[in-house]
Structure 1
Amino acid sequence: MTSPTARIRPAAPVPRPLADLAAAFGLAPTRPLPAQAQVSAVASDNRVVAAGDLFVALPGARSHGADFAADAVGRGAAAVLTDAEGAGRLADLDVPVLVVDDPRRVLGPVAAWVHGAPAEQLVTFGITGTNGKTTTSYQVDHLLRALGRRGGLVGTVETRAGDQVLPSRLTTPEAADLQALLAAMREHGVDALTMEVSSHAIAMRRVDGVVYDVAGFTNLSQDHLDFHGDLDAYFAAKAELFTPERSRRGVVVVDDAWGERLAATATVPVETVRTLPAAPGAPAADWTVHDVAPAGTGSAFTLRHTDGRTLRTATSLPGGFNVANAALAAVMVLASGVPLAEVTAALAAADGLSARVPGRMEVVAPGDARDPRVVVDFAHNTDALELALAALRPTTAGRLVVVFGATGDRDPGKRGAMGAAAVAGADVVVVTDDDPHDEDAAAVRAAVLAGARDAVGAARAAGRAPELVEVAPRADAIRRAVLDAAPGDTVLVAGRGHETIQEVGGVDLELDDRVEARAAVRARAERNTSA
């Protein structure tokens, strides 16, 4: 897991007068501010505070950030911003203390102000949805770089600011960290930003202080209901990205009812993209996908606008859902104002939307006359698992094998459905652990297995005979699946993708599905050699 101190900052921040900050946001000092008081960055985590920072002490469910203010000052914080409760705990602090009713609400805008509004100096793209955010963000970034832009990327897999690369702790960083990152990007000459924007980030105000030039929506299906409560609340969080407070324009894939609902209710101008046949009575989409055809490992396709404009390109990733991701990426760049002719030329020079995304339909072993194909994918909910299996089925000559589990302490309602989806889409289903967190791993597997067993009965009644096994721990499940597979089979290891840490009972264990899959492939080769 990434250390909390792994934070990208600008190398040469410009200090801002504390009095000007207080006046700009109506922040009340507990005592007169020294005329020379300045701040050069903002932090809401005392562990990442550096000299000259404004430490924002937020109220929390279990503790108040004011309780960590002394440590922040010891690390160099020049001032503290908090609420009245926090200020009451800081009477003896020897740095200026500013007070506001809701410090979380002003955290993002304050950090943006301190860093000189860095997002306003970038062309910004924000992508939300249940599945496909990471892939779409990589494809947008790929196209921007093909257009000659110097791109920055923020998302689930990694954070890039110029030549600096860090693994990501959160899909979307906390507000203060995000603004520091954007300021660092500006220093590195970055002129275009592509970000995944999670529903958690919107609800928890992590992207406050950024108004995206173009917001994109992939799709919506059951996920994160442990946080949001129900699908309507989950949708509402994502729909907030398509308001003037958070974006200037949007691009929405309308292949599902949620996309159609968002397009109808967004309060910014929206272009729509449809990659599947429209339901009777559905409104026409602005852009539609036509003439999808196999192309290498992925698909070629044509995007056609209602005004007659067309764009022929391809994605290197398999599956119809990756056509949708690629189409969304292309239209988002077009919506930012880049002419169609420039996008067409850039895509032709860059072999289409060919960005390889770590842990997203990543082929660990291509398969041959002696060995199966092995693929690792992040599919961690029902819809994503169904789509991944459906994408691999047409190119699998033998059996389709899936190794997967469900996450502990997260949305237990989807576990049985994931088991059923695996049985419906695969010939061999290996149920194992994902990240149990603080739940009993066997109990999580049992919930997945219950849904899978019900689906096995239905499949057998319909003339199919899927095989269902339980294997734990996860490394053993991957090894067994690869060793037991036959030439022509495909083994899909689903659920964790790029992740390298498995949390079990509060303990972080090193576990990378790609590493384990490659080790299993090597073990198979050794077995074949000695046979």
Structure 2
Amino acid sequence: MTSPARMRPQHPPTHRLADVVETFALSPDRPLDAALVTTGVTVASTDVAPGDLFVAVPGMRVHGATYAAQAVDAGAVAVVTDAAGAELAGDLGVPVLVAPDPRDLAGPLAAHVLDEPARGLVTVGVTGTNGKTTTTYFVDAALRAAHRTTAVLGTVELRVGDEAVESPRTTVEAPALQGILALARERGAGAVAMEVSSHALALGRVRGLTFDVVGFTNLQRDHLDFHGDMEGYFRDKARLFAPEQARRGVVVVDDEWGRRLAATSPVPVETVATHVGDPHGADADWAVVAADIGLDGVGSTFTLRGPDGTEHAAASPLPGLVNVSNAALAIVLAHTAGVDLATAVDAVAHAHEIPGRMERVVERGDGLPLCLVDYAHTPDALVLALEAVRPITPGRLILVFGSDGDRDQGKRPIMGQIAARLADVLVVTDENPRSEDPAVIRAAILEGVRAERPSGTDVHEATSRAQAIRDALALATDQDTVIVTGKGHEPTQEIAGVFHRYNDRDVFLAAAAAHTPDHARAEQHA
């Protein structure tokens, strides 16, 4: 797989190191050679290209300066770090440039070295707990209708035009992000849509980039192991709406956090209410005033009222009220970013399938159930996913799910209760156990299941995720729906610190092929 950090411009600009040092008031440990130049920035020693500045930041376990010699061997012309890092690095034979906070500096430094690549692009950022990926793809569909080439960056992939690589995280490190923006500019892209995670905001990964428009979907329980509590989580999300980070915003005001953000945002915002009949819709700039949730499981139509009172017929290509919300937000974001409103409405309605987001893998029939893969991995997302699938399920709703290791432990029994309440048959299995004992994670989920369903009826446990999917298919008829949640598009499963190649979609297809001699339906999406 191509490293995201290797998605760089082929012809980067060149800057004299002495000028960079002066611009950012860095403190070199030696006199600088006037002829020394730099062409890039990275925080990963394994991704250094000749001419790079290596920014060594303190980590949770080890300081990046520990790898400074490796970076220099790979061609780094200087190391930027803090005082502690300079002590660790020692004499490297290249300038060591000291800054008080190298992590905070990495983004602006990379943007400067690459000649501010975002200035030539329309940039849209999306944050929130649930819906970031779907909304970003919807926005990209609208931007593609108005720009010859676009880029989309997020949890699933990093794509510039037709070139894409797997994404290592929702939002890449700041220098890698600036490199991708520079590549997009070099290839003639006109616009970029990207997901912005709360971790990225807290750790400065989008520093050095001021978005033209940013959007907020919702705030629900997640990542409390990192943010501490919901207040901390909200504060980090709200960083995206700071003047140095965004010029304008669009906020969904369906929950208290959205309403609070809209009321306190220091940048101008437009509000979107997406729950039909919600009294907050009367005060919102944009509001969904009617919705018809299609029973074919493919999509929904809705009416979006604009600020001037005009109503616009719109559609979401994905099922459920949650995707009406995502589509409405995407339309307003794209329009605010300069796309004609009618063009945005039409493009979102015809957006392509999004990997791992209500993805239809096996169609109902020939003895097989409808099989779906969805990324839902928070309590609220699980509710929305199951409520979206219930109306398109003639028989039983069968859920395969688990919960992540080394993450918020408190949500595990909550998700168990939700599953027991909203699904008919449960198969509890592993997600990404990471360093935790998978049995302990499953036990916490099952505790919540038993609180809601003491009898344990139609509750199964599987120690292998692939086996869990096979078990669910064996239990199902063609009137049932099997949905596997939690991993979505993810191409690996992390167990005891080891990443194994794994994808729910692939397992579904193989299990469906084994389930019936005539597996044409399963293969139609292969």
Equivalents in 1 of 2:190, 2:3: separation in Å?
A: 27
Equivalents in 1 of 2:63, 2:293: separation in Å?
A: 56
Q: What is the one-letter code of the residue matched to 1:469? A: H
Name the structure 1 match of 2:524: none
Secondary structure of the corresponding residue to residue 171 of structure 2: coil
Offset at residue 360 of structure 1 (A): 0.4
Offset at residue 206 of structure 1 (A): 0.5
Secondary structure of the corresponding residue to residue 244 of structure 1: coil
Choose from 341, 344, 357 the match for 2:342: 344
Structure 1 residues 423-502: aligned runs within 5 Å: 423-457=420-454, 467-502=458-493
Equivalents in 1 of 2:107, 2:518: separation in Å?
A: 56
Q: Deviations over 1:411-448 (max 9, x none)?
A: 00000000011111111011111111110001100000
Cα 1:443–1:527 change in 2 (3 A) is: farther
Contact preservation (8 Å) 1:5, 1:47: no
Equivalents in 2 of 1:412, 1:43: separation in Å?
A: 34
Q: Deviations over 1:284-304 (max 9, x none)?
A: 111011221245611111110
Q: What is the one-letter code of the residue matched to 1:183? A: A
Choose from 402, 417, 422 the match for 2:414: 417
Q: Does 1:360 align with 2:361?
A: no
Q: What is the one-letter code of the residue matched to 1:63? A: V
Structure 1 residues 89-168: aligned runs within 5 Å: 89-168=88-167
Structure 1 residues 176-195: aligned runs within 5 Å: 176-195=175-194
Offset at residue 57 of structure 1 (A): 1.4
Secondary structure of the corresponding residue to residue 195 of structure 1: strand
Offset at residue 170 of structure 1 (A): 1.0
Q: What is the one-letter code of the residue matched to 1:190? A: A
TM-score by structure 2 length? 0.95
Q: What is the one-letter code of the residue matched to 1:104? A: R
Structure 1 residues 56-455: aligned runs within 5 Å: 56-277=55-276, 284-295=283-294, 297-338=298-339, 342-345=340-343, 347-348=345-346, 350=347, 352-368=349-365, 370-455=367-452
Offset at residue 189 of structure 1 (A): 0.8
Contact preservation (8 Å) 2:330, 2:348: no
Offset at residue 4 of structure 1 (A): 5.4
Equivalents in 2 of 1:95, 1:13: separation in Å?
A: 21
Cα 1:164–1:146 change in 2 (3 A) is: same
Q: How many residues align?
A: 518
Offset at residue 33 of structure 1 (A): 1.1
Q: What is the one-letter code of the residue matched to 1:452? A: V
Offset at residue 511 of structure 1 (A): 1.5
Equivalents in 1 of 2:343, 2:87: separation in Å?
A: 61
Q: What is the one-letter code of the residue matched to 2:474? A: L
Equivalents in 2 of 1:351, 1:177: separation in Å?
A: 29
Equivalents in 2 of 1:466, 1:197: separation in Å?
A: 41
Equivalents in 1 of 2:386, 2:4: separation in Å?
A: 39
Q: Deviations over 1:342-378 (max 9, x none)?
A: 3314544x47242310010001111025221110100
Contact preservation (8 Å) 1:483, 1:521: no
Q: What is the one-letter code of the residue matched to 1:151? A: T
Structure 1 residues 19-58: aligned runs within 5 Å: 19-58=18-57
Q: Deviations over 1:204-230 (max 9, x none)?
A: 100000111111001111000111111
Secondary structure of the corresponding residue to residue 315 of structure 2: strand
Cα 1:369–1:4 change in 2 (3 A) is: closer
Equivalents in 2 of 1:391, 1:137: separation in Å?
A: 20
Cα 1:53–1:364 change in 2 (3 A) is: same
Equivalents in 1 of 2:148, 2:411: separation in Å?
A: 41
Q: What is the one-letter code of the residue matched to 2:53? A: L
Offset at residue 283 of structure 1 (A): 6.6
Offset at residue 278 of structure 1 (A): 5.8
Q: Please give the root-mean-square deviation of Cα atoms over the aligned residues, in Å.
A: 1.9
Q: What is the one-letter code of the residue matched to 1:93? A: L
Q: Deviations over 1:145-196 (max 9, x none)?
A: 1223421011000001223210000110001111111111111111101010
Cα 1:209–1:61 change in 2 (3 A) is: same
Q: Deviations over 1:391-430 (max 9, x none)?
A: 0101110000000001111100000000011111111011
Name the structure 2 match of 1:16: 15
